[in-house]
Amino acid sequence: MKRFFISISILISLGFSANAQESSWLQLEAHSSLRAAQERTRAYAGAFEAVNGFSMPGGWYAVVLGPFTKQEAEKRRRTLRRENLIPNDSFIADGRGYRQQFWPIGANTLTAEPIGEAPTETTAIEMSVVEPAISEPTAPQPVADIEETPRQARKSEALLNRDERKMLQTALQWEGFYTAAIDGAFGRGTRRSMAAYQAEMGYKATGILTTKQRAELLKNYNAILEGIGLATIIDKSAGIQIDMPMALVEFARYEPPFVHYDSKNDSGVRVLLISQTGDQASLFGLYDIMQTLEIVPLEGERKRKDRSFVLTGQNEKFTSYTYAALESGMIKGFTLIWPQGDGKRLERVIAAMKASFKPVGNTALDPNLGEPTAEQRIDLISGLEIRKPIISRTGFYIDSVGRVLTTASSVQNCGRISIDETYDARVELVNSELGIAVLKPINTLAPVAFASFNTKPPRLNSEIAVSGYSYEGALGSATTTFGKLTDIRGLRGEEYLRRLAMVTQSGDAGGPVFDMTGAVLGMLLPHSTSSTQKLPEEVNFAVSADAIAKAGVKLPASTISGALAPIELAAKGIDMTVLVSCWN
């Protein structure tokens, strides 16, 4: 990121004044009526210090705060506008047009010493490509501590503009008192909500908020955003302008198509800016990819349109919101990840980010931007974790409509069960005694191949093979492990078991056990988890095809004769073997 420094002393040498004694004023309002200016000045004086009123040329009267140093005036302007306590069009004035002072009566503050510290001549300013600036809210509202009668309250209310009225409705809606449209019209619904708010707060329910009550309502509405540092970020590389909670996040890195802003001070908040070139197919592809990531939990709304999409997701740890849109051959958007338990502030931050989001320039992130990190893994996409299942084991097709036989232990307490991480399925049958389960796909499938079974007792010490996802899907395809049938019973004489001599992995459990003709003799069971006995590594067990059939599972009989070559057997296994995953 390029940075440059501008010394204040250089600016002074170029003719810019840094006189700490020059006064600046924060002009709030101007009125053509002295009486109106006095009323407004009195209202502001109930809430703020350093409130002054001056006449101006042309018969106008200014309501101002000050005097301040220029630095202090800018600081107060940003703070008060962010909290909706002063009008949106308030500005910094040098006071040269102010004449006779009408408030406070008898005062003369035009020559008073300005409040605040002036910058020294050795101060340096640092600027960067990503330059934050405090965002400005749009709804002003003055404050007063004085009590008003309903008549006075209606009179002060009449001075509100449409945006100020809409902001009051928004705040009432936020507090749960207003449910109608935000239109700036104070009809019966708005009046009823105002009366309900007054009653709740212990005020007389007149249906007309006083200046003090309006200020209190808006202060509470905005207090929820205190401390998040909402600021405008312009990222020229991504071509995005957006307001972000910069007290909670900080720039981390570029990993196209994302700009990563990681959590700051353990806030738990993260932001991604999305920027890439593409078309509708690219947009739809991004929509699908985002849903495979840990940052987009399964529970939540999915809404895809022709040229944009919205994804929401939540779990017990966090909530995320993603928006992206296609415009002029570029896809741009953002993702906000927010800790659970802070829903109201999350809603406000999402609203602020949506309202401020704007593509700028005619560029998107360069795909080659950024450097590879030490965290590169195959289960990361541009630095983001791919969602992982609780457990993944093997299963295999047992009929032409896609039913799958697998282990009972792999599909217990699952929020979702998938076949090959693509097709959703439900449990149709479970036999805990045998340790088997049958899955039925939600939508009918047409597998390339499905198992045929040999339910007769197999030949002792014959060669066998197991097809399975040994490494729980890391290799993308099933592997084949060869071994021998060492007994047609279990160690305690169990008739439904077959003892095998082969080295398998935990992911192989649920896989089909073949004889060398390609007929399925049974299903591989998980390794024993007994804490009191550990068997040799090569000792494995399978539940027999005969026992599976007796449990009520319809199994097609094998008609195959003649041994297959190992490569043919492996190919047969790959065609019928699937990855079964359990998700929370």
Q: Are residues 286 and 426 in the same domain?
A: no
- In a domain, residue 9? The reply is no
Radius of gyration of the chain (CA): 35
The pTM is what? Answer: 0.56
> How far is it, in rounded angstroms, from Cα 471 to Cα 468?
9
**Which tens digit of pLDDT belongs to each residue from 320-339?**
999 999 999 999 999 999 99
Contacts of 131 (CB under 8 A, 6+ apart): 233, 234
Last residue of a domain, one of 355, 384, 413: 384
**Which tens digit of pLDDT belongs to each residue from 439-452?**
999 998 999 999 99
Lowest mean pLDDT among 44-53, 360-369, 487-496: 44-53
Residue 135: pLDDT over 80: no
- In a domain, residue 131? The reply is no
Contacts of 358 (CB under 8 A, 6+ apart): 240, 241, 242
The pLDDT of residue 531: 60
- In a domain, residue 1? The reply is no
Q: Which amino acid is at 137?
A: P
Q: Are residues 406 and 329 in the same domain?
A: no
Q: Are residues 218 and 234 in the same domain?
A: no
- In a domain, residue 444? The reply is yes
Contacts of 428 (CB under 8 A, 6+ apart): 403, 438, 439, 440
Q: Are residues 412 and 523 in the same domain?
A: yes
**Which tens digit of pLDDT belongs to each residue from 253-270?**
999 899 999 999 889 999
- In a domain, residue 12? The reply is no
- The residues that bridge with 258 in the sheet, in sequence order, are 255, 274
Residue 418: pLDDT over 90: yes
Phi first, then psi: give them for residue 324, nearest 5 degrees: -150, 145
Q: Are residues 356 and 299 in the same domain?
A: yes
Q: Are residues 370 and 445 in the same domain?
A: no
Q: Are residues 56 and 168 in the same domain?
A: no
Residue 438: pLDDT over 70: yes
The pLDDT of residue 105: 84
Q: Note the residue count of the chain.
A: 584
Q: Which amino acid is at 424?
A: D
Lowest mean pLDDT among 69-73, 240-244, 372-376, 563-567: 372-376
User: Which range is most confident: 70-84, 163-177, 316-330?
Assistant: 316-330
Does residue 572 contact residue 482 with C-beta atoms inside 8 Å? no
Does residue 188 contact residue 201 with C-beta atoms inside 8 Å? no
Domain that holds residue 83: 19-118
Last residue of a domain, one of 384, 403, 437: 384
- In a domain, residue 3? The reply is no
Q: Are residues 332 and 407 in the same domain?
A: no
Overall domain count for the chain: 4
Q: Are residues 356 and 394 in the same domain?
A: no
List the CATH number of the domain containing 464. Answer: 2.40.10.120
Q: Are residues 473 and 510 in the same domain?
A: yes
Lowest mean pLDDT among 56-60, 367-371, 401-405, 511-515: 367-371
Give 193-200 contacts, CB < 8 A, sequence gap 24+: 193/169, 197/172
- In a domain, residue 133? The reply is no
Rounded mean pLDDT, 98-110: 88
Rounded mean pLDDT, 329-350: 92
Does residue 567 contact residue 524 with C-beta atoms inside 8 Å? no
Lowest mean pLDDT among 126-140, 296-310, 336-350: 126-140
Q: Are residues 82 and 175 in the same domain?
A: no
- What percent of the chain is predicted at pLDDT more than 70? 88
- In a domain, residue 154? The reply is yes
Cα distances from 486 to residues 497, 498, 506, 543, in angstroms, run 11, 8, 20, 14
**Which tens digit of pLDDT belongs to each residue from 488-539?**
999 999 999 999 999 999 999 999 999 999 999 999 999 877 667 778 889 9
What one-character-per-residue DSSP string does 130-185 give?
Answer: S--EE---S-------S---HHHHHHHHTT--HHHHHHHHHHHHHTTS--S---S-
